[in-house]
Structure 1
Amino acid sequence: MEETISLKEIAEVIKKRLVLILTFILGAAFIAAVLSYFVLTPEYESSSQFIVNQTQQEEDAGEFTQENLRTNVEIINTYNVIISSPAILDPVIDELGLTLTPGQLADKINVSSEENSQVVTVTAADDDPAQAVNIANTTVEIFQEEIPSIMNVDNVAILTQAELTENPSPVAPNPILNIAIGIVFGAMLGVGIAFLLEYLDNTIKTEQDITKQLDVPVLGVISHVDESDIRAQQQANFETETTGRRGLNGAKKTI
């Protein structure tokens, strides 16, 4: 029974403050839309892939065992670290003439590989789609050139290169997702403020409030009468009296 009353009170508070809650929802959605379409800078991504394959010695020997495959997969973790190191990124910066530090460029690059796969994907992000393509391709190319001297192995081959499409689509921001988040946040904030205002409101407005707050019975209620109500009642009485007089006059004439 108590749970039903609590749910009823919650519904009444939401209904009472519905305009406030809707205002917060619409306001948050509007702010999210403005930020997504007009404030936040679009970001583009491009990916290039390379594959870790047989070493030259393995090819000459004509052998490629399951152990070789496992070794190549394990060494990919090392390659992922090397790609994001200054040993690779410094030449990339010089090649492209970037005004970035190796750490800043590393934040623009993501290296990933599927489990038990020899294929590594290098994804570059930038606010210029052409620059994202250049960063991804140049990083993989320089990595392929430098890895023999760093690891004393030559088992990296470029699989695919990033390409610039005619109408690249930004990966961020996502306006629909941001607006949805804004709606949820606005609803939570609006409901929270509605219950806070209801909690802070200790005024007595109805007979039920008197019974609830003061724990005393209500003996009577004095209705509030506005001047407009008085004028309306006087007008109604006047019309009634006028109608009655006309009826009496008509009766006298008939007699």
Structure 2
Amino acid sequence: MSTSNGSGPPVAAWQRPREEDYPLSRYAETLRERLGLILAVLLLTTAAALVYVVVAEKVYEAETELLVTPISSDDPALAGLGVIRESSDPTRDVETAAQLVTNVDVARRVARGLGLSDSPSELLERVAVEPVAQSNVVTITAEADSPERAAALANGFASATVADRTEQLRGQLDSSIARLRRTVRDLPRGQTTTDQSPASQLAALEALRGGDDPTISVETAAEAPTEPVRPKPLLSIAAGVLAGLVLGLGAAFGLQVLDPRLRREKQLRDLYNLPILARVPNAAGPMQQSGPLTLQRLGPPAAEAYRTLRATIAASRGGRTGPRSILVTSASRSEGKTTTAINLAASLALAGNRVILIEADLRRPAVGEALGESAELGTGSVLVEQSALEESLITANAYGKYLRLLLAEGSGYASGWMADHLFLPNARQLIDHAKALADYVVIDSPPLSEVIDALPLAQKADEVVVVVRRAKTHLTKLIQLGELLARHGVTPTGFVFVGVKTPGKTGYYYAPEPARGKKWRSQTPKGGSPAPARGSSAARAVSVGQDDARSTR
């Protein structure tokens, strides 16, 4: 049954997404899945912070204070002198004094006094001057690579400011004193001296010239600091940890949104109302080899997963009797469909069922190479009626008479020109003929979302099994496959999820995992006869095959 989704393709019932989980659970899944990335970023930023703390140049700061004492604007003796005078806004007086510190002349005086090679602009970059609010104090903060240099630089700017202002004031006083002396000399003798008389003004200016600028003075000298202001180890490391968490979480959730690949089962359940028929563990040992893998090359956990698939397929028959056809496909290549088809067929055969494995992936045939078999007559010959099905079947030596193969001609070589033969009427009849000769017919199909060669076989098959691989299957391809099957009235039986975590040492398996550096020993005896070794996955399949035979045949 399907429904229409506006102008889009029909939507089958099995395509309807399940109810959404709470967002918190999705966040938790993302954190679990991307924990390695988060920890890697966290370690990287923390290490960078540690390196910064170790190699960064230590910076020390020292602070001194200048006291600003503006003079009254009503003093006639100081009229015309460049001193700081009282204003209606006291804040402006302090700001004026602050500007007197940060000028090039003061910086040059500091460089000469301390014997520094730095330019005035470089020295000014290392000094900060700030008026203290609600006071007549200006702070001078200097930084350097040692405590002593920082204190010397701060005190140097304070002293140089006072000296520069005093020098300018004395220059102005010299002119005023010379003028007043001439005036006093020309005055008549015996004239009464008052506070406003030239003689009194001259005495005041001469007294003023004997000292420093009275409007600005050093209030507090700088002392050498005991600790650097940067880097701060604890603060730097905390910042590195915080940055790592922010970047790691951002990368994790960003990749989760942008990652087009299948990562977890929930993504399947969000797309389809279909069961997961089997979960095949991650490749380990010989499973890491390229190409399809047979039971003899699988580790016990993976072999047990395919035995579970066999039992699940058998249970899906319910009360139905008679032979069954099972087509195995995937969304794209290299997802494990051929491995699944081979091992499902082998597991069914080892349980005592008569099985025919048909190689329908005529573009990239791989079954014969994986099993070490080849055939002159195969799928293409049967489709074009050059040979009968019975005479084209060969026995899989590794599994005895119960498993027979219909291989693509020239297995292991490109046979794409044969693909159109699968659209012939004989393709559907091939499944019926095979079911007359076996209890189960397993069909290795090409990935239908990439090529639709085997679509007629999918429509004819009793069961369609879709193989997906964690971190390999692209969700877009998987959605395209679902739409293709729904459009042509094909309802998949379920999924085989390849790439789950291998069970740990507590896993309930009949054979222990190989020691580090060892490989799973091949279970195929010489001569190709089905005599699996004791304790092997094949032997286990045979031992339980008698119990399952009644239910699977």
Can you list the C-alpha shifts for 1:158-194, whole angstroms capped at 9, x where unaligned? 11111236xx211111121111111111112111221
Does structure 1 residue 27 correspond to structure 2 residue 83? no
Distance in 2 (CA, whole Å) between partners of 1:117 and 1:171 is 26
Does structure 1 residue 53 correspond to structure 2 residue 109? no
Distance in 2 (CA, whole Å) between partners of 1:212 and 1:82 is 71
CA 223–20 in structure 1, closer or farther in 2 if over 3 Å, else same:
closer
Mark the runs of 5 or more structure 2 residues left unpaired by the alignment: 1-18, 78-84, 173-212, 282-297, 304-508, 512-533, 544-553
| CA shift for structure 1 position 3 | 9.4
Can you list the C-alpha shifts for 1:82-127, whole angstroms capped at 9, x where unaligned? 2110121111111111111111111111111221201111111000
Tell me which amino acid in the other structure corresponds to 1:156. I
Partner of 1:224: helix, strand, or coil? strand
Does structure 1 residue 90 correspond to structure 2 residue 108? yes
1:156 to 216, 220, 238: 216
The equivalent of 2:411 in structure 1 is none
Partner of 1:122: helix, strand, or coil? strand
Q: Which residues in structure 2 correspond to 1:66-215 (within 5 Å)?
A: 68=86, 73-150=91-168, 154-164=214-224, 168-204=226-262, 208-213=266-271, 215=272
Flag the structure with larger Rg: 2
Q: Under a length normalisation based on structure 1, what TM-score does the superposition of the two structures give?
A: 0.75
Is the contact made by 2:97 and 2:138 (CA closer than 8 Å) also made in structure 1? no
CA 124–70 in structure 1, closer or farther in 2 if over 3 Å, else same:
farther
Partner of 2:280: helix, strand, or coil? coil
Partner of 1:50: helix, strand, or coil? strand
Distance in 2 (CA, whole Å) between partners of 1:223 and 1:43 is 59
The equivalent of 2:300 in structure 1 is 228
1:42 to 58, 65, 75: 58
Distance in 2 (CA, whole Å) between partners of 1:72 and 1:137 is 25
CA 93–75 in structure 1, closer or farther in 2 if over 3 Å, else same:
same
Mark the runs of 5 or more structure 1 residues left unpaired by the alignment: 62-66, 242-255
| CA shift for structure 1 position 195 | 2.1
Tell me which amino acid in the other structure corresponds to 2:229. V
| CA shift for structure 1 position 49 | 1.2
Partner of 1:117: helix, strand, or coil? coil
CA 172–3 in structure 1, closer or farther in 2 if over 3 Å, else same:
farther
| CA shift for structure 1 position 48 | 1.4
CA 13–219 in structure 1, closer or farther in 2 if over 3 Å, else same:
closer
CA 59–40 in structure 1, closer or farther in 2 if over 3 Å, else same:
farther
CA 53–205 in structure 1, closer or farther in 2 if over 3 Å, else same:
closer
Distance in 2 (CA, whole Å) between partners of 1:122 and 1:171 is 16
Distance in 1 (CA, whole Å) between partners of 2:134 and 2:149 is 31
Partner of 1:159: helix, strand, or coil? strand
| CA shift for structure 1 position 144 | 0.9
Q: Percent identity?
A: 25
CA 86–6 in structure 1, closer or farther in 2 if over 3 Å, else same:
same
Distance in 2 (CA, whole Å) between partners of 1:149 and 1:11 is 72
Q: RMSD of the alignment, in Å?
A: 3.3
Is the contact made by 1:56 and 1:154 (CA closer than 8 Å) also made in structure 2? no
Deviates more, 1:192-201 or 1:130-139: 192-201
Is the contact made by 1:53 and 1:72 (CA closer than 8 Å) also made in structure 2? no
Query: 1 or 2 for the larger relative contact order (CA 8 Å, sep ≥6)?
Result: 1
Tell me which amino acid in the other structure corresponds to 2:220. T
Distance in 2 (CA, whole Å) between partners of 1:219 and 1:43 is 64
